[in-house]
Amino acid sequence: MRHISRPATAILMAAALAAGATGCGDDAGSGGTGTGSGSGGQIGIDLPRADSDFWNSYAKYVPRFATELGINLMTPTNSQNDVAKLVANAQALQSQGAKAIVMAPQDTGAIASTLTTLESKKIPVVTVDTRPDKGKVFMVVRADNRAYGQKACEFLGEKLGGKGKVIEFQGSLSSINGRDRSEAFIECMKSKYPGITVFEEPTEWEGTKAAAALQTRLAQHPDIKGVYMQAGGVFLAPTLQVLKSKNLLVPPEDPKHMFVVSNDGIPQEFEAIRKGEIDATVSQPADLYAKYALFYAKAAVEGKTFQPGPTDHGSTIIDVGGGTLEDQLPAPLVTKENVDDQALWGNQIGK
């Protein structure tokens, strides 16, 4: 080890980086196998990762809705947030005889050639949560991420009375969802609440970076009154911890109260809303993702087609260009008033 040359070390470090990135996650989410001797061919599904609360909930909903819809579901694979694994899994599902595949490519560019291959084999693909940059898919099932940023902006703008300072924890700008939320939030702020100053903090979805940015900004601008965090799963606990240490964790009636809006809709956020620690979150519909991904996959196998326009489940299918259809599912804003609504998925999975 000691005599290893420096270039070699650099290469090994790079290898370690790659391994480190793929090393996170195991197949904890690939447990359930759906049954149901459903109509039509079997449907394959790839789960994107096993290390986030949101996707773990999604993974739990998949077998449930498969049974409900009478789908013959294959054992789910898990690509651990790695597009290379996703490509390999898609090939495996295809050779095992999948008639349709549901996937959630987190890298929306690198999946293009796989989509082309699947198209040539006449296997329809439904993507969840993200829209591929290129390639043919049967349907994109996605929440309207721009609406997340929009709703957060309107909530904060109203609570602050159109003036003051807010801090925003952006997700990763290399992800379409992070970008959509960031763009919509700042556009809305600029056009509707020009009196509000926004500090945009890049975090790469890391809680440590958000906590550091919040501490620093509060030292610089003690009069910050609002926080918009784009993912409650990673930012909630660090934010509350920082606010607590600054004695800013006070009820909404207190003039020192910091207004916090989150995105995700995990049970911990609901609990914080009940306690008055945060004020609102946008519930990302894990249940609807699973349900409608499987619904469209089944419809694809049965040869059904869809047209742009409103659907029967309160959403709208839009043509996002090149004939790609996207079902933009509604993502409700959860506040103290409706936090106990049992229809929210965060209230369904218990703690």
Partner 1 sequence: MTNSRTVAVAPPAAAPRRVRLARFRDLALVPAILLLVVVGAVIDPVFLTKANITNVLQQQTELSLLVLAEAIILIAGKFDLSLESTIGLAPALAVGLVIPVASNGLGTDLPVALAIPLCLLTGLAIGAFNGLLILRFKLSAFIVTLGMLIVLRGLQIGLTGGQNLFDIPQSVLYLGNAVWLGLPASIWICGALFAAGILALGFLRHGRAVYAIGGNVDAARAAGIRTDRVVWIVLMLGGLLAALAGLLMTGRLGSVASAQGDGMIFTVFAAAVIGGVSLDGGKGTLFGALCGVIVLGLINNILTLGGVSAQWIQAIYGAIILVALILARVTSGKAQD
**What angle is formed at CA 97 by the lines to CA 52 and CA 137, rounded to 5 degrees?**
60
Give 139 or 218: the residue with its C-beta nearer to partner 1: 218
Among 51, 319, 340, 341, binds partner 1 (CB under 8 A): 51
Contact 169, 229 (CB under 8 A): yes
Q: How far apart are CA 186 and CA 200, in angstroms?
A: 9
By CB under 8 A, residue 20 contacts partner 1: yes
For 19, 99, 204, 346, the CA distances from 178, given in Å and listed in that order, are 25, 32, 9, 21
**What angle is formed at CA 260 by the lines to CA 256 and CA 261, rounded to 5 degrees?**
155
In 3-state terms the chain splits into helix, strand, coil percentages (rounded to 5) of 40, 20, 40
Write out the binding residues for partner 1, residues 160-179 only, by CB under 8 A. Answer: 170, 173
Among 147, 212, 250, 320, binds partner 1 (CB under 8 A): 212
Q: How far apart are CA 223 and CA 327, in angstroms?
A: 41
Burial degree of 65 (CB within 10 A; 0-12, 13-18, 19+): buried
By CB under 8 A, residue 347 contacts partner 1: no
Give the helix/strand (H/E) hosting 63.
helix 53-68
Which range in 51-59, 67-75, 253-261, 313-321 contacts partner 1 by CB under 8 A? 51-59
By CB under 8 A, residue 275 contacts partner 1: no
Contact mark string toward partner 1, 227..266, x via CB under 8 A: ------xx-xxx-xx--xx---------------------
Which range in 52-60, 91-99, 101-109, 338-346 contacts partner 1 by CB under 8 A? 52-60
> What end-to-end distance do the CA atoms of the chain give, in Å?
47
By CB under 8 A, residue 76 contacts partner 1: no
Give 140 or 213: the residue with its C-beta nearer to partner 1: 213
By CB under 8 A, residue 324 contacts partner 1: no
Q: The tokens of 337 are what?
A: 């008033």
Interacting residues of 11 by C-beta distance below 8 A, sequence separation 6+:
none
Query: What is the closest distance, in whole angstroms, from the C-beta atom of residue 351 to partner 1 in the complex?
Result: 6
Among 38, 56, 264, 287, binds partner 1 (CB under 8 A): 56
SS3 199: strand
By CB under 8 A, residue 119 contacts partner 1: no
List interacting residues with partner 1 (CB under 8 A). 1-4, 6, 9, 12-13, 15-17, 19-21, 23-26, 28-29, 49-53, 55-56, 170, 173, 182, 199-202, 206-208, 211-213, 215-217, 219-220, 233-234, 236-238, 240-241, 244-245, 268, 350-351
